[in-house]
Amino acid sequence: MTYSRKFARLLALAFTICTVAVSARAQETSSAKPIQARFEVLHMFVNSIQVRRADNMREIHTFAYSDQIRDEMQQRFSNSPYQYGDKVKIVYRPGAEIALRIKGKPSKPS
């Protein structure tokens, strides 16, 4: 075999290994169990919410709303949105910044 054929086969093997690894990682992320955590609201937007973790104030997340809760959250944003300091529980999948459920009582507007 010539050098170029060996190189082509090695390159094809490397590409195959990378493809398998990426698809396995994508499958792992999509099938991960949702987790629930407590957060403190920093800011609520019409399509997302920015929060910091209650037990680690340096950990800040911006969660987009999932399709299942988007209408509810947009309605809440129009009527009585979450404000800075409100406590919420958010259910999300690890590695994804998409909120599946948000529970918490918004404070009264000042």
| Cα distance between residue 61 and residue 51, in whole Å | 5
| Cα distance between residue 22 and residue 4, in whole Å | 27
Task: Report the domain count for the chain.
Answer: 2
Q: Are residues 45 and 22 in the same domain?
A: no
Q: Are residues 24 and 2 in the same domain?
A: yes
Band of the pLDDT at 109, cuts 50, 70, 90?
confident
Q: What is the pLDDT of residues 35-92, one digit of tens each?
A: 999 999 999 999 999 999 999 999 999 999 999 999 999 999 999 899 999 999 999 9
Scanning the structure block, which residue is given the tokens 């529980």? 89
Residue 10 sits in which domain range?
1-31
Three-state secondary-structure class, residue 3: helix
**Residue 97 counted as domain residue:** yes
Q: Are 69 and 98 in contact (CB under 8 A)?
A: no
Band of the pLDDT at 23, cuts 50, 70, 90?
low
Task: Please give the model's pTM, rounded to 2 decimal places.
Answer: 0.69
